Amino acid sequence: MTVTQETSSPTEVLVVGAGPTGLFLALLLARLGVSVRVVDSAGAPGTTSRALAVQARTLELYRQVDLADEVVRRGLVLRALNLWRRGERAERIELATVGKGQTPFPFGVIFPQDEHERLLVERLEAAGVGVERRTEVTSIDAGPGDERVVARLRAPDGSNATCEARYVAGCDGARSTVRRAIEAGFPGGTYSHLFYVADVVAQGAAVNGELHVLLDDAGFLGLFPLAGTGRARLVGTIRDDAAGPGALLRWEHVDRRPIERIGIQVEHVNWFSTYHVHHRVADRFRRDRVFLLGDAAHVHSPVGGQGMNTGLGDAMNLAWKLAAVLGGRAHADLLDTYEPERIAFARRLVATTDRVFQAASKDGRFARMLRTEVAPRVVAAISHTEMGRLAFFRLLSQTGIEYRASTWSSGRNGKLHGGDRLPWAPPASPGAPDNFTPLRSLDWQAHVYGEPDAGVRAACDSRRLPLHAFAFDARARASGLAKDAVYVVRPDGYLGAVLDAAGAAARVPEYLDRHGIRTRC
Ligand SMILES: Cc1cc2nc3c(=O)[nH]c(=O)nc-3n(C[C@H](O)[C@H](O)[C@H](O)COP(=O)(O)OP(=O)(O)OC[C@H]3O[C@@H](n4cnc5c(N)ncnc54)[C@H](O)[C@@H]3O)c2cc1C
């Protein structure tokens, strides 16, 4: 039996999958006034900790929807990274302040994925959207006149239903049905080593609220701190002699030598899981009205804690674009920018994590030498220079992501190009509003650091483009912002256009007209 579900308002966006990516996308769409439906085949949200790290760029995006403070409050600020070699701590890199002056959140936060998803669900429900559980998307077809997409659903009682939507967002994880439905390939590979993750209660000097990584001939081990006395997450390899096909693996099969090398005693294992690490990027992130985001679009090793954060970044990138096109506030080609902006980053990320992961996990004398002798020295050299620390932070925190090559990015002034993330200019005093405060509107805006001229004011007024003027002080200068230049800022905090003060009065409307941009106000 096929039943078309009647809903009070037609669905504009169907979000398939209520993992972190789908939940954040739905929350953003709801805040932007889009009618959204979220379905998930699972009966309940995940109950295991999986992705732990919430990076600074994610916190910046979360600040736009008042989520960041809560994540920082409930999570654990990552204070330091320790590198171990031959049973000794070879290096300690301060992480709590490594990005000082770059972002309101100069650190990463440990916040287990199950708690994270619960928080997103709470906020989504507060925005009036519930997740429809035990509802699986089985296929997707083009709708009548190609104006809509029709998704076939299996409802909780096993009956079939359809959902017509203007757009479908496939946030349905690594084994994505939506990816298959749009016939996107998922090229890449799988590493041969079998890895484990375990949430444990342990004792030892390394269980100290800091991150520890063992680069050693005894093997690879990562220890992540968790909130609560003695709690930690271990990531390591399974003994080769235990990891045969079909083997039922338990904690007993874990390679103990790396654990002994960092001197911890595991007293209790709360959660244990094994996994093969994949590195794959979908060969397209969109077909017509259907998009792929998160693990449905890219998977890679957990090295660097980037996976979930990248999905959350996809969600922000797509949400405001869908809302603008659905609301007639931008030309439809805005949606064409999603794939090139996000696929370029996903490919770079997968290539980088692949290289690091290979170095950390490969067998053989040369690989061992690289791991135990070369890598610690390189990391030490990087961490001892200001420039090295900054580059490391920009990479890890995802604050270095830019969309300069995008067709919607234009202009340049000094170091800043269209497509760059709006640099953070720290506030005059702690707690005072800063230049990220207006990004809470999730709308286009213009920024000037200095004195906007009357022509610029009039141009922005005539287009209802909110103009925010900030002092051009030492903090703004240090952030790379130029005096009196006009920055047209996208709703996701990236620069659409960077315009010199001279001529900006004409170029602001020109940029808005070229793309059909209207603000929500
Ligand atoms: C054991 C384990 C450990 C991990 N450790 C880390 C880590 O340490 N660091 C890190 O960064 N990442 C880690 N990850 C990866 C991280 O969990 C993912 O990157 C993250 O969950 C991706 O979020 P997502 O929302 O894109 O997809 P998912 O979280 O996979 O969510 C997809 C959702 O879609 C639903 N779904 C699937 N198919 C359908 C369908 N046809 N119809 C409707 N709903 C559907 C699923 O039920 C699921 O809820 C780990 C993953 C696992 C499994």
124 versus 251: the higher-pLDDT residue is 124
Residue-level pLDDT at 144: 66
In the chain, which residues fall in CATH 3.40.30.120? 412-515
DSSP per residue over 49-68, as a string? ----EE-HHHHHHHHTTT-H
pLDDT, tens digit, 9 for 90 and up, residues 44-103: 999 988 999 999 999 999 999 999 999 999 999 999 999 888 888 888 888 888 899 999
Rounded CA-CA distance 347/175 in Å is 19
Identity of residue 17: G
CATH of 412-515, one of 3.40.30.120, 3.40.50.1000, 3.30.379.10, 3.90.1150.10: 3.40.30.120
What is the chain's mean pLDDT, rounded? Answer: 91
Q: How many Å lie between the centroid of ligand 1 and the Cα of residue 500?
A: 44
Closest Cα partner for 425 from 371, 379, 493, 344? 493
* Least confident among 252-256, 376-380, 394-398: 376-380
Q: What distance in angstroms lies between residue 460's CA and the mean position of ligand 1's atoms?
A: 42
Query: Is the distance from CB of 284 to CB of 291 less than 8 angstroms?
Result: no
Question: Model confidence over 276-293: pLDDT tens digits?
Answer: 889 999 999 999 999 999
- How far, in Å, from the CA of 17 to the mean position of ligand 1? 9
Residue among 14, 24, 110, 113 to mutate when testing ligand 1 (max atoms within 8 A of CB): 113
Q: What is the dihedral of CA 436, 442, 446, 451, to 10 degrees?
A: -40
- Is the CB of residue 40 below 6 angstroms from any atom belonging to ligand 1? yes
Within 10 Å of residue 427's Cβ, how many Cβ atoms? 16
Fold of 76-110+187-281+363-401: D-Amino Acid Oxidase; Chain A, domain 2 (3.30.9)
Which DSSP string do the residues of 452-498 spell out, in sequence order? Answer: --HHHHHHHHHTT--EEEE---HHHHHTT--TT-EEEE-TTSBEEEE
Where exactly does CATH 3.30.9.10 map onto the chain? 76-110+187-281+363-401
| Portions of the chain given CATH number 3.50.50.60 | 11-65+111-185+285-351
Task: Enter the tokens of residue 440.
Answer: 């809470």
pLDDT digits (tens, 9 = 90+) for 304-316: 789 999 999 999 9
Q: What is the pLDDT of residues 140-196, one digit of tens each?
A: 997 767 889 999 999 999 999 999 999 999 999 999 999 999 999 999 998 877 889
CATH 3.50.50.60 applies to domain 11-65+111-185+285-351: yes
Give pLDDT, residue 247.
Answer: 64
Q: Which residues touch 404 (CB under 8 Å, ≥6 apart)?
A: 417, 418, 419, 420
Instruction: Tell me the pLDDT tens digit for each residue of 207-238.
Output: 999 999 987 777 789 999 998 889 999 998 88
- Going by pLDDT thresholds of 50, 70 and 90, the confidence category of residue 36 is very high
Distance CA 482, CA 147 (A): 44
- Other Cβ atoms closer than 10 A to 270: 13
Q: What is the pLDDT of residue 4?
A: 43
CA distance 321 to 492: 10
